[in-house]
Structure 1
Amino acid sequence: MGRESFAIGQVRVRPGSRKDVELPITRLVTGGDVSLPVQIVHGKYDGPTIWVSAAIHGEEVMGVEVVRRLLATLNPKHLHGTLMAVPVVNVLGFMTGDRYLPDRRDLNRAFPGSPRGSLASRIAHLFMEEVVSKCELGIDLHTAADRRANLPQLRGDLDDPRTYGLAKVFGAPVMLHAKLRDGSLRQAATEAGSMVLLYESGEAMRFDELSIGTGVAGIRRVMAHLGMIEEVVEQPAAPTLESRESNWIRARGTGIFQLECELGDMVESGRRLGRTSDTFGRGGRLVRADRDGIVIGLTRAPIVNAGDGLVHVAQITSTDG
């Protein structure tokens, strides 16, 4: 007996096929409809159902390209299980390059949402009902916030053995234990019984091949581990570093910041990471590492104020060898 068709919204997708689905969100003042775009890749053979999502913050475009390239590698006639691909969750923010929705709400603080709440709450509810409720695992793709950059890293609950195992399989340069944030997709999905891996890499409104390639390869490794695809998947270039704690080194004063480190640098406590000074180069103040670790994030803003995060350093617990 073959697999059943996959139901989403008012649509059913036959085994061994793929289909684009538009889930209605709202109507613009001009009368045009806004929908959540989802592509269902419903495998011919039985297997797990997972989702991959991106652009829950509208300016975080890197993940959209990861989803696009991932889909290009999949053949539903050979796939075991089902992939729900949601390249743009915050459709309205994505169209304007804005992190937030038009009402300035952060969609990733609106989960699990409500069918009668704010626009953010309604989108969150739609995503939970039509995507999360059907899946046992989700991979959510993010980048750094505006004027920051992140090293490819996998975040999740590393105290959960299955999450820990899949984080190692993903093979990002760093896996970071991350607490759940109230209102986030990861918190709501976890409470609903799904496991979530959060991939962070790159910069807002930018594509870069390291972030994209690491994301596509990592998702494919997870899918291969789950038995969804059979293709030989390239292994990571280096072992994954594990971190249980990370902190931003912050500016102690206002000035122009000259960065003297890069993403992925291994630093020792006391190492010089940069220097702040005024517009004439006077009043220089050195910025030094206050712990040993690896640089997983940094600012791209040359002008900083006291308290601004400059360099994000993760302390290394162990190496996945």
Structure 2
Amino acid sequence: MNAPLMIGGTDILPGETRQIKVPVAKLYTDTEMSIPVHVIRARKPGPTLFVSAAVHGDELNGIEITRRLIAKNLKLSKGTLIAVPMVNIYGVLNQSRYLPDRRDLNRCFPGSAKGSLAGRIAHTFLNEIVKHCDYGIDLHTGAIHRSNLPQVRANLDDAETLTLAQAFGVPVLLNANLRDGSLREAAVDHGVKILLYEAGQALRFDELSIQSGVKGVMNVMSSLGMIRKRTSRKKIEPFVANRSDWMRASASGFVSESISLGAAVEKGQVLAEINSPLGDLIGQVESSRTGIVIGKQNIPLVQEGEAMYHIAYFGSATDEVAEHIEMMQDMMELGTTP
């Protein structure tokens, strides 16, 4: 039987679409703060999927992805979609990754009803949203001044999770371990299959990342039978990387880089040169292995040892991955659905 779904004290019946505000805590100004939630339920029972954004408050691409999903006024064939555009509402308000207590919300799950502000938000989100779900997609970007190529991170050793990651439709899949205190860990502990989508950088909209994210969520919903099957003459084939490393600065100075995000690089290839303020070459950054640049620092200033380029390794498939990255970029520019 397709039973009512209760979120924040509100019952959402089969066939209903509702917008709900889930109370969290007050500011010291006595201002009430709440997490906005958009719920779409089909009349026919099926899987429940949550899509969450801004667990880190400065990661804005996910907010726009969920906004565009909501604006589509989706008609579900079966199941329930729970879209949460802002989990860390305090961070969004302050354009900060963290909460006012300086805690990282994504290290505070499962949280506590009587704990810190971060713990209370984690507890609320886990109990009001995640526990109702069978699947989840958590939307992220790179940190401040760092960009990520559109990629999905998940436990790809789990067959069903791998199928969902492949359905998402981006070229790069990273088999990533669970981190203590993360939303992904808490979701898995409650039997929820979850993908983490990483794309773009903090405090900026990136159209490629946003379009890829919207299409990716729709592709997953299609694969779960929640919406009509999506077809395309062109298909972006995903490739799994089981390892990735950061290339670090060999000296402190000013950066002159020679590669871009998404580029295929060879072992020993120079990725950037580091110069002194007077123009002397004082160091180089080289790739330790052949792979794809899936993340990079954007500021042309570095301290020795600072992480600069995130390289994922695909073995003999590196050239194919690069081709599919180019295909993804071309398809987004042409407005083609992958």
Q: What are the superposed Cα offsets for residues 183-207 of structure 1, whole Å, 9 maximum, x if unpaired?
A: 0000111011111100000010111
Q: Conserved in 1, the CA contact under 8 Å of 2:53 and 2:139? A: yes
In 1, distance between residues paired with 2:98 and 2:233? 36
Match of 1:205 among 203, 212, 220: 203
1:217–1:231: structure 2 CA closer, same or farther, 3 Å change rule?
Answer: same
Residue aligning to 2:40: 41
Which secondary structure state, in structure 2, belongs to the residue aligned with residue 66 of structure 1? Answer: helix
Residue aligning to 1:4: 3
Q: Conserved in 1, the CA contact under 8 Å of 2:44 and 2:78? A: yes
| 1:57 matches 2:56 | yes
Residue aligning to 1:226: 224
271-280 or 57-66: bigger deviation: 271-280
Match of 1:307 among 297, 305, 308: 305
Which secondary structure state, in structure 2, belongs to the residue aligned with residue 165 of structure 1? Answer: helix
How many residues in Structure 1 have an aligned counterpart in Structure 2?
A: 319
In 2, distance between residues paired with 1:46 and 1:186? 25
Q: Conserved in 2, the CA contact under 8 Å of 1:263 and 1:297? A: yes
Q: Conserved in 1, the CA contact under 8 Å of 2:137 and 2:195? A: yes
Task: Please state how far the C-alpha of 1:79 moved relative to its aligned partner.
Answer: 3.5
Q: Conserved in 1, the CA contact under 8 Å of 2:267 and 2:287? A: yes
Higher strand proportion: 1
Task: Please state how far the C-alpha of 1:241 moved relative to its aligned partner.
Answer: 2.1
Q: Conserved in 2, the CA contact under 8 Å of 1:217 and 1:233? A: no
Runs of 4+ in 1 over 6 A off after TM superposition: none
User: Identity, % of aligned pairs?
Assistant: 45
Residue aligning to 1:147: 145
In 2, distance between residues paired with 1:233 and 1:208? 25
TM-score by length of 2: 0.91
Residue aligning to 1:196: 194
Task: Please state how far the C-alpha of 1:67 moved relative to its aligned partner.
Answer: 0.6
Query: Unaligned 5+ residue runs, structure 2?
Result: 325-338
Alignment of 1:1-321 (within 5 A): 3-76=2-75, 78-234=76-232, 238-317=236-315
In 2, distance between residues paired with 1:75 and 1:198? 22
Task: Please state how far the C-alpha of 1:236 moved relative to its aligned partner.
Answer: 6.4
Higher helix proportion: 2
Q: Conserved in 2, the CA contact under 8 Å of 1:220 and 1:233? A: no
Q: Conserved in 2, the CA contact under 8 Å of 1:262 and 1:295? A: yes
Q: Conserved in 2, the CA contact under 8 Å of 1:6 and 1:42? A: no
Q: Conserved in 1, the CA contact under 8 Å of 2:250 and 2:284? A: no
Q: Conserved in 1, the CA contact under 8 Å of 2:17 and 2:38? A: yes
Q: Conserved in 1, the CA contact under 8 Å of 2:51 and 2:136? A: yes
Q: Conserved in 2, the CA contact under 8 Å of 1:180 and 1:186? A: yes
Q: Conserved in 2, the CA contact under 8 Å of 1:22 and 1:35? A: yes
1:171–1:232: structure 2 CA closer, same or farther, 3 Å change rule?
Answer: closer
